Structure 1
Amino acid sequence: MSETKIFNIASIPGDGVGKEVVAAGRQVLEALAAQSGGSFAFEWTEFPWGSDYYAKHGEMMPEEGLDALKGFDAIYFGAVGWENVPDHVSLWGLRLNITQNFDQWANIRPVKFLPGVESPLRRAETAELDWIVVRENSEGEYAGLGGRNLSGRGPGNEVALQTALFTEKGCERIMRFAFDLARTRAVKKVSSVTKSNAQQYGMVLWDDVFRRVALDYPDVQTESVLVDAMSAKFVLKPEDLSVVVASNLNADILSDLGSALAGSLGLAASANLNPERRFPSMFEPVHGSAPDIAGKGISNPIGAIASAALMLDHFGLHDEARRVEAAIAQTTASGHLTRDVGGTATTEDVTEAISAALTATLATV
């Protein structure tokens, strides 16, 4: 018998429903490992960082936290944010602290339309919709450059500067990532999103780099679309999309729109990748900490479980990732739906149904 491959994963449940959905994802991954015949297993180390940690220590994670994470194969993240911590403090203190320092420059967010989940988009009833938003994840509008000044001049005179950073290197690497991804898909097309008519420096650089990079991919269709027009296209002509590449802010907003069109933010998965694997990559659902439903056992675990499938792909376990995705689809098709997508199932109900469906997918994938 071959030696069991062990994947060491840092678990950071974070705040609110993050704790519930990370537990659900771990349950599904453990069920998958139990069916592997000993070929692979997961070892978990949980870190209690987040808003509760902030209340005790005055920081979202300890100063040495990044060093503690460096040796893991991946990070499995829940959600961040709570009423005791300002949102910009919680985000920059934990999630962005990790993504920025670990150079997780490629953020992918698939938009999945699942069977049994009603979409508010009428086009979903007749068209086969499936696209991926590729988000530049290290610079752009979230570079953290700027400051607040002149408050000493009295009330009403303070000035805040928020500077977006676009580098040719940063633009090119995320675009090549998007083109390479497009080559693996049935529809080989990349849609670039900017606002270069109004942002004449950073976004025009983005457009220039996109045109140059596209020359190296003559087999891939391209288009450049302004972000407001692309927002309309998500609704009016989503069947025309395959891979959408955009800056940090634009892709963040568009991916949430895509998830809402698919039925709920609770369904949406994401991966924050360091493609060179110099640092561990991080996998997380798109949704937030949802304080209004935290602790009630009704949060949707599918976004976290689908993120676990992206983590399996990162580990090279592609067949296993497809099994998890098939189990999710089987579960929603059978009517196991949480409240956010029109059902009455609990988090535990959906998690158990997906775990059970893994057995059915074992013989079909």
Structure 2
Amino acid sequence: MNVKTIAQIGGDGIGPEVVKQGRKAADAAMAGSGTELRWREFPWGAGHYRSTGEILPENAVEELSHCDSIYLGAIGDPSVKPGVLERGILLTLRFAFDMYVNLRPARAFPKVPIPIEGAAEKGIDLLVVRENTEDLYMGLGGTGDGEIDQIIEAKRGLYNLTGHVSMSTGHRMALQMGIATEPAVRRITATACGYARGRGERSILLATKANAMPHLYGFWEEIAADEAKGQGMAMETMNVDAMCYHAVRRPWEFGTILCPNLFGDIVSDLFAGITGGLGVAAGGNQGDGIGMFEPIHGSAPDIAGTDSANPLAAILSASLMLRSLGEGKGATAIERAVETFLNESDQDRLPKEMGGQAGTEEIGDSVASIIERDREGKQP
């Protein structure tokens, strides 16, 4: 029996509820496959922080390094200052395990309302490949009353960055630094080319803003274009503001989109909204080792415990996780089951955010049952 150990972090709000349903689907997909999923549950999130005063224990990275993947529900709670848990858990783990790829697929699903007339009929199936360790998300900068003078340090899988910044304006000020390095741009570009090739595409599209920020994003364009050429893939560019404009007019024209960190965060949420909302928006953080998979949505504490959360995004994130572990058959089984569930469900059995009355648990049970039914070759 092949064993894969999965670190389960339910997190906050609806996180534990939706992760439970994704776990059901993953276990159902792996049943009889020769691969066993062994789950290790970790309590990290707002509750752990309030009770212990620590965001992550000192041995967290070491504990997780013995797992094959991380499956996360959601992080964030009104009782904790915004950013504390997000930086302390999400960014810490992304950087510690050098998860330099953030994958955010966006596609039109059956019966999921799309806000753009005619888009569902034309079909939407795109993939945002977001660089996940650099750009303006490095956490470098500071504030000052007239001047800033500080040491700059950052540890990444590719390098240890050190430096010093000193400047003055005579006014209260803030500085946020964005960094791009050639090896980081090359590896994410190569990754995007690989996904595009697997999707049967001949080119990738880079989201940029080199006209306004030539040093950072002009560098990105230069390196990415050279790497794409070496990968045998054409590359087009589009300013990120223009991309947002065209996305809501012709979303069906987009395929594989390569993005620096900040732009990727923004446009992936836009495409999620275009394709029906965060309830069907899966996400994955990957590198050359352990990955972390999570729905794009937040913790939604206002509906926690009400059986109202839509678990489909978490279930689809479990599919991304299985695919990253080399379990493509199981991943496909989950994706097909989600489509079948939406196709077969009457309006009142759809998730509540889609106008139905189905609860979180019912949806998870339905998807898992479809996976089992398909495996056994039974008729609906």
Q: Scaled by the length of structure 2, what TM-score is found? A: 0.89
- Quote the Cα distance in structure 1 between the aligned partners of 2:316 and 2:223: 32
Deviation at 1:42, TM superposition (A): 1.1
Distance 1:7 1:204, change over 3 A: same
Q: Which amino acid aligns with 2:221?
A: D
- Quote the Cα distance in structure 2 between the aligned partners of 1:127 and 1:363: 33
CA contact (8 A) 1:141 1:247 kept: no
Deviation at 1:157, TM superposition (A): 4.7
Partner of 2:187: 173
Q: Which amino acid aligns with 1:210?
A: A
Distance 1:32 1:217, change over 3 A: closer
- Residues 114-170 of structure 1 deviation map (CA, whole Å, 9 limit, x = unaligned): 1111111223232121000000001111011001222899xx953221111111111
Partner of 2:25: 28
Q: Which amino acid aligns with 1:28?
A: A
SS of the aligned residue for 1:284 comes to strand
- Quote the Cα distance in structure 1 between the aligned partners of 2:184 and 2:354: 37
Partner of 2:258: 245
CA contact (8 A) 2:147 2:173 kept: no
RMSD: 1.7
SS of the aligned residue for 2:252 comes to helix
What is the 5 A alignment of 1:230-269? Answer: 230-269=243-282
Deviation at 1:31, TM superposition (A): 2.1
- Quote the Cα distance in structure 2 between the aligned partners of 1:317 and 1:359: 16
Which structure 2 residue ranges, 5 or more long, are not aligned? 149-169
Partner of 2:61: 66
- Quote the Cα distance in structure 2 between the aligned partners of 1:152 and 1:246: 32
Partner of 1:186: 200
Q: Which amino acid aligns with 1:24?
A: Q
Partner of 1:286: 296
Deviation at 1:264, TM superposition (A): 1.2
SS of the aligned residue for 1:142 comes to strand
Distance 1:223 1:8, change over 3 A: same
Deviation at 1:315, TM superposition (A): 1.5
Deviation at 1:363, TM superposition (A): 5.9
- Quote the Cα distance in structure 2 between the aligned partners of 1:126 and 1:31: 31
Indicate the larger mover: 328-337 or 16-25.
328-337
Distance 1:152 1:205, change over 3 A: closer
- Quote the Cα distance in structure 2 between the aligned partners of 1:177 and 1:267: 24
Q: Which amino acid aligns with 1:186?
A: G
Q: Which amino acid aligns with 1:95?
A: L
Seq. identity, %: 36
Indicate the larger mover: 102-111 or 342-351.
342-351
Deviant stretches of 4+, over 4 Å: none
**Greater per-residue strand proportion:** 2
Q: Which amino acid aligns with 2:37?
A: F
Deviation at 1:197, TM superposition (A): 1.0
Pick the aligned partner of 2:104 from 103, 109, 124: 109
Partner of 1:322: 332
- Quote the Cα distance in structure 2 between the aligned partners of 1:271 and 1:104: 9
CA contact (8 A) 1:116 1:334 kept: no
Pick the aligned partner of 2:230 from 185, 198, 216: 216
Deviation at 1:59, TM superposition (A): 2.3
CA contact (8 A) 2:108 2:120 kept: no
1:205 pairs with 2:219: yes
SS of the aligned residue for 1:158 comes to strand
CA contact (8 A) 2:30 2:330 kept: no
Deviation at 1:252, TM superposition (A): 0.6
Length, aligned pairs only? 353
SS of the aligned residue for 1:150 comes to strand
1:140 pairs with 2:154: no
Which structure 1 residue ranges, 5 or more long, are not aligned? none
Q: Scaled by the length of structure 1, what TM-score is found? A: 0.93
SS of the aligned residue for 2:230 comes to coil
- Quote the Cα distance in structure 2 between the aligned partners of 1:261 and 1:255: 10
- Quote the Cα distance in structure 2 between the aligned partners of 1:189 and 1:343: 39
- Quote the Cα distance in structure 2 between the aligned partners of 1:44 and 1:239: 38
